[in-house]
Amino acid sequence: MAWASFAKLNAASSQWIGQQSFTQRTGSSSSTRFATRRVSVPIRAGAYTEELVKTAKTIASPGRGILAIDESNATCGKRLASIGLDNTETNRQAYRQLLLTTPGLGDYISGAILFEETLYQSTTDGKKFVDCLREEKIVPGIKVDKGLVPLPGSNNESWCQGLDGLASRSTEYYKQGARFAKWRTVVSIPCGPSALAVKEAAWGLARYAAISQDNGLVPIVEPEILLDGDHPIERTLEVAEKVWSEVFFYLAENNVVLEGILLKPSMVTPGAEHKEKASPETIAKYTLTMLKRRVPPAVPGIMV
């Protein structure tokens, strides 16, 4: 839903609420004098808002999902090595062409997350990969984070780097045809998680989301709760609820349009080393409980 840029106050005030502030009066019944204070009321209405909402709804269309082929060149090389091929750009191009030109792919896939190299590549006969996707009504996406690094001051936890230069990179990705973005950060339960790590994950996701939207890209918001640990499923639920509440708090602080984002939550499961395994029905129950408690209804799609 696009929001209006301005809302008019009553006639006595004759001011406008926008990226401005308005006067609020305070006082008591025993005095006719009023003190005034300035209250800022930011209103979000970006240049890409309508397009973002449309893109998010397209990707979240029923019966289709997202294809993630955003492997780094090193990871792609491991796949090629398994079939006896060298890790060259030509071979990576052929591998991705095999995927992206599959007949009828658009019947099942609504969006494809690409690695930066792939976004700029073409088929062997010169057709851009992004054009191959568009013909199948698949939205091209792009991985924008720069990977996990140690978080100083934490309990051996990580944070996701990549905000530096993200605006300029996103502008170029949009020009090349990308219309949504992926940013992955993680939270470790065995490491605490510390309040610092949770805040860093939430704030980083919110800044990435705001920058992406300002440049026309629908952000996939993905705080991944790692499976490591021997904790029960109840502990995972507790941590997931805390993380997602922080994420949406900072999304609001950064004026992110919730109708123009997509979510990729982790399933709520016991730790991988926990002695009791949960049934699929139990995992579904706990995951839905978390989502119902934390996700605002404005969000158009949850991709799991």
List active site positions: 222, 264
The total of other beta-carbon atoms located within 10 Å of residue 163's CB is 16
Report cis status (omega within 30 of 0) of the bond before 232: no
Interacting residues of 95 by C-beta distance below 8 A, sequence separation 6+: 76, 79, 80
Do the beta carbons of residue 183 and residue 145 sit within 8 Å?
yes
Rg (CA), the chain: 23
3-state secondary structure of 221: strand
Distance (Å, whole) CA 185 – CA 189: 14
CA distance 14 to 139: 45
Which two three-digit tokens encode residue 70?
A: 């955003």
Q: Which residue has the tokens 């005030």?
A: 13
Partners of residue 150 on adjacent β-strands: 158
Q: 224: which residues sit within 8 A by CB, 6+ positions away?
A: 184, 185, 186, 187, 266
16 Cβ contact partners less than 8 Å away, ≥ 6 residues apart: 6, 7, 8, 9, 22
Largest distance between two CA atoms of the chain: 87
